[in-house]
Structure 1
Amino acid sequence: MSPSETFSLHDALVKVIVEKSYSRIAVADRHGVFLNVAPNFAALYGGTAEDYVGCSAFDLEKSGILTPSVTAKVLREDREVQFMLTTRMGRTVLAQGFPVRDAAGSIVQVASFSYDMTDLHILREEYEYLQQRFYKQDGAARSRGAESEITQPIDPAMRSIFELVWRVARTPASVLFLGETGVGKTMFARLVHQQSDRRTGRLVELNCASLPGSLVEAELFGYESGAFTGARQKGKAGLIEEASGGTLFLDEISEASLDVQAKLLKALEDRRIMRVGATRERSVDFRLVAATNVDLEARVESGQFRPDLYYRLNVVPIIIPPLRQRQKDLPSLIDHLWAKIDKRYGGGKVLESSLIESLLRYHWPGNVRELENVLERLYVTETGPRIGSDRAIRGLLSGMAAPPLPEASAPAPEGRAEPLPKVLARVERQLLQDAQKRHSSTYEMAASLGISQPSVVRKLRKHGL
């Protein structure tokens, strides 16, 4: 095959990819002149593909047709770029531009991708308006001394969140729940599924932090027979396939590898996936709900999370506040959790009001999960139909009170200050020893000290305890 034939074949291949791809693609040369433009790209900015091919991105930018042009920006700044813009058609677009370089590092072409975010942008505006409306309503009710429509004493911020979840559940948008460990993100994800038009389908859940990256990919996308060592002989459908017609909930999505993120984005965009080791794609139809307890925007800035997937997930970010910031929720939560525990064990036990008052004074670093664990511990360890004795209260308070700091030791000899690391190590060891005396497990120690259980284990080993 001659060089000219190879070049023609390459051009034809690029043309097919651009025109047939679901993504809105445009390819320009080193001068910014468009060589190939997808019809859906042209429709997004106005006009037809023929209106753009042969035209300069710089000229189109000056004339206001591309405002601004991602292709022109790539060539001016000599780097990949990404930004949001509003087209003359009134569409909100996420534009990405990527330089194609030769062996010397010079730009020879620019490939740009445009994602229509209009519907997602409108939904976010509705979300912000909804939150403002509920806060105003709550303030007006308080100024009138009116009773809340909700009979239980629920924090106004949480009432707003519940209403938002019910509103968003009825849309096809992806949802991202943010908040500390134990605040109830999984419960809200299940609520989204139950309130959606997909509730008759399956809710499939995966914690991305619970498996190595390679296994997360196999679990999500499935695999064919012989795809890797240990693969099932008949292969296996992935969780995305199992969630087709329903909802996929990915907890701790921040822990997914960049490869998994890329494939997940493609599945969201194209509604097609390919199993590991497969040669053909499969159609899927799922709704994604995700959750994380880390700052995803910081992960994007550090290159650990794909910005395009972040924008796709961050349509309606719902922040679940920690329990210490929603004290009005505690009475209703205690009632709800106690009823659930009582049903599980069938003992017909009741909490005395004096014990409930003790629970209300605690700051709950482990959030709702810690509250449920404490209530269950009370239920199974205390005898009698009514729990609220002095012994139960003393045990509860001693188990949950913050440990006092050890008294400062005498100054080092000759007036020399003791090195700070040595002082901190001694204080840490003393706190661990005090916690060991009060608690019977590392989980209780973790809740008391305000750190995670694995951190407690590591620190006990470190100090030989």
Structure 2
Amino acid sequence: MNITEYRTLCAQYPSLRSLFSVMEALHDNIAIVGKDGIILWVSSCFERNYGISRDEVVGRTTYELEAERVFTPSVAALVLKTRRVVTLTETSQSGQLNIVTGVPVYDQNGDISLVVSYTVDPAYSLRLYDEYQNILSAGAPHEEKNPPLPYGGVVYASAAMQEVLEQVRKVADLETGILITGESGVGKNVVARLLHHAGQRSSGPLVEINCAGIPDSLLESELFGYESGSFTGARQRGKPGRIEQAHGGTLFLDEVGEIPLPLQAKLLEVIQEKRFFKLGAHKPTHVDFRLVAATNQDLRALVRKKRFRSDLFFRLSTFPLTIPPLRDRREDISPLLDYFLRKTNDKYGTAKRFSTAALQHLRAYTWPGNVRELQNIVEQCVITADHEEIAAADLPEHVSLGTTPSALLQSDSLDLKTALENCERDIILAAHARYKTTVAVARALGISQPSAARKIARYCRAGNSMQK
């Protein structure tokens, strides 16, 4: 049914008009997009979520708005491409994160006629979650104490991450400096964004800068900006720095330990005085922002080595927030695997799934690259696996080698027979991949050729990935 047909029905049955009134009353934004990508209707709270009025988007295509970065990526475009329900995190042009779900509506011929999407504001969800916690603390009955919850883009099931998010809730509305520490890949940037969108400055910009990704010679101009003619190659009209762009919002300095010592003094002055001088400027620029910093280094050790200013360290770490590595919160592995697998399947229009054996290896792996490594491996497996079921043999070699029998037993309640069979399978498949023939495998493993042939045939059939 399209919008024209719906309006015809509304003329025949006036009570149906109340449906739009109901959608307008919802806190979550609702959008209706046609099969050609044209936006047919959005609720009035669209402007609150995306910073642009409904009159400016209705009648335009979702592809145009995505290209103009009103929101990226477009959930409606992905639904039209994959013909399935899609849930993702959209970023608006102001930097706000929104969790969006798009649902296809099919006509009688099985073709998509409409896409209906609804947007969840993480800050609003946070307030609802707080109210829910208050109800629980008052003694309301509940079935599950710590269910895996996607909280503002954070997927978790562990008590360790729940404690981190409880700390985020405590300081989200405060202006105090936050220093997020943790190994590379644990999700420091996700927590920084959550702090911004759950705080009082959520309507302002969130400006992120990776201090390790910019050469020292360019970092000062990138942070502080410059006036016209400040140096050779400078723009004629000058350039505002990231600090100035963060006025009224949040400045997130990732890998803050990489800032050179000379710049640290200038950064300290900005934090304390809320003003700074651009390169080549004679008058100060006044700014108002909240600072969130992150590092995977030991800043105290850098202070002792005279590579980081102690006064800046204490200004940054008013409230330290440490994210534990994934190996110390193994309860999060399964929900993260489910989340990234669903997200990757939606991205590529696939329906891949992990076999039981593959899941055992993934849950037992130590994940030195943390959540980022897990996400990359899931996407790699979805792309490279030849069958819908991703077998253990489809996993990267270092994942299989990084899971010991003891780790497999710890990750799943396996009996001895199953554990021994898993080990035998891994050895047989690895030997076959290396030596290629049954004769060579038999010689390498010290078994008969018929026995090697039977085992290779058995495990290759089970893995659906290798030929005899």
- Contact 2:181/2:296 (8 A) holds in 1: yes
Name the counterpart of 1:162: 165
Name the counterpart of 1:184: 187
The whole-number CA distance in structure 1 between the counterparts of 2:382 and 2:144 is 33
Deviations 1:292-319 (A, max 9, x none): 1111011111211111111111111111
Give the counterpart of 2:281 among 265, 278, 281: 278
The whole-number CA distance in structure 2 between the counterparts of 1:295 and 1:397 is 31
One-letter amino acid matched to 1:293? N
How far residue 341 of structure 1 moved from its aligned partner, in angstroms, is 1.5
Give the counterpart of 1:369 among 372, 376, 389: 372
> How has the CA–CA distance of structure 1 residues 403 and 197 changed in structure 2, closer, same or farther, with 3 Å as cutoff?
closer
> How has the CA–CA distance of structure 1 residues 402 and 348 changed in structure 2, closer, same or farther, with 3 Å as cutoff?
closer
The percent of aligned pairs where both chains have the same amino acid is 45
Deviations 1:1-41 (A, max 9, x none): xxxxxxxxxxxxxxxxxxxxxxxxxxxxxxxxxxxxxxxxx
> How has the CA–CA distance of structure 1 residues 166 and 339 changed in structure 2, closer, same or farther, with 3 Å as cutoff?
farther
How far residue 383 of structure 1 moved from its aligned partner, in angstroms, is 3.4
- Residue 212 (str. 1) matches residue 242 (str. 2): no
Name the counterpart of 1:337: 340
The secondary structure found in structure 1 opposite 2:161 is helix
- TM-score (ref. length: structure 1): 0.53
How far residue 381 of structure 1 moved from its aligned partner, in angstroms, is 1.0
- Residue 302 (str. 1) matches residue 305 (str. 2): yes
Deviations 1:50-109 (A, max 9, x none): xxxxxxxxxxxxxxxxxxxxxxxxxxxxxxxxxxxxxxxxxxxxxxxxxxxxxxxxxxxx
In structure 1, list runs of 5 or more residues that go unmatched: 1-133, 405-433, 439-465
Name the counterpart of 1:117: none
Name the counterpart of 1:256: 259
Give the counterpart of 1:323 among 323, 326, 343: 326
The whole-number CA distance in structure 1 between the counterparts of 2:183 and 2:402 is 22
Q: Which has the larger radius of gyration?
A: 1
Name the counterpart of 2:244: 241
The secondary structure found in structure 2 opposite 1:290 is strand
One-letter amino acid matched to 2:147? I
- Contact 1:355/1:387 (8 A) holds in 2: no
How far residue 403 of structure 1 moved from its aligned partner, in angstroms, is 7.5
How far residue 353 of structure 1 moved from its aligned partner, in angstroms, is 3.8
How far residue 147 of structure 1 moved from its aligned partner, in angstroms, is 3.6
- Contact 2:366/2:402 (8 A) holds in 1: no
The whole-number CA distance in structure 2 between the counterparts of 1:195 and 1:364 is 29
How far residue 357 of structure 1 moved from its aligned partner, in angstroms, is 2.2
1:37-56 equivalence runs, <5 A? none
The whole-number CA distance in structure 2 between the counterparts of 1:315 and 1:204 is 20
- Contact 2:181/2:322 (8 A) holds in 1: yes
One-letter amino acid matched to 1:369? R
The secondary structure found in structure 1 opposite 2:251 is strand
Name the counterpart of 2:389: 387
One-letter amino acid matched to 1:277? G
1:59-458 equivalence runs, <5 A? 147-151=144-148, 154-384=157-387, 386-388=388-390, 392-396=391-395, 398-402=397-401
Name the counterpart of 2:115: none
How far residue 149 of structure 1 moved from its aligned partner, in angstroms, is 4.1
The whole-number CA distance in structure 2 between the counterparts of 1:339 and 1:287 is 34
- Contact 1:275/1:281 (8 A) holds in 2: yes
- Contact 1:249/1:289 (8 A) holds in 2: yes
- Contact 1:175/1:315 (8 A) holds in 2: yes
The secondary structure found in structure 2 opposite 1:347 is coil
One-letter amino acid matched to 1:150? P
One-letter amino acid matched to 1:387? E
One-letter amino acid matched to 1:372? Q
- TM-score (ref. length: structure 2): 0.53
Q: How many pairs were matched up?
A: 263
The whole-number CA distance in structure 2 between the counterparts of 1:340 and 1:200 is 27
How far residue 379 of structure 1 moved from its aligned partner, in angstroms, is 0.8
The secondary structure found in structure 2 opposite 1:378 is helix
How far residue 260 of structure 1 moved from its aligned partner, in angstroms, is 1.4
One-letter amino acid matched to 1:148? K
- Contact 2:352/2:389 (8 A) holds in 1: yes
- Contact 1:205/1:251 (8 A) holds in 2: yes
- Contact 2:362/2:399 (8 A) holds in 1: no
Name the counterpart of 1:47: none
The whole-number CA distance in structure 2 between the counterparts of 1:274 and 1:224 is 10
In structure 2, list runs of 5 or more residues that go unmatched: 1-132, 150-155, 404-429, 435-468
How far residue 211 of structure 1 moved from its aligned partner, in angstroms, is 1.5
One-letter amino acid matched to 1:273? F
- Contact 1:204/1:242 (8 A) holds in 2: yes
How far residue 347 of structure 1 moved from its aligned partner, in angstroms, is 1.8
The secondary structure found in structure 1 opposite 2:179 is strand
How far residue 158 of structure 1 moved from its aligned partner, in angstroms, is 0.9
How far residue 345 of structure 1 moved from its aligned partner, in angstroms, is 1.6
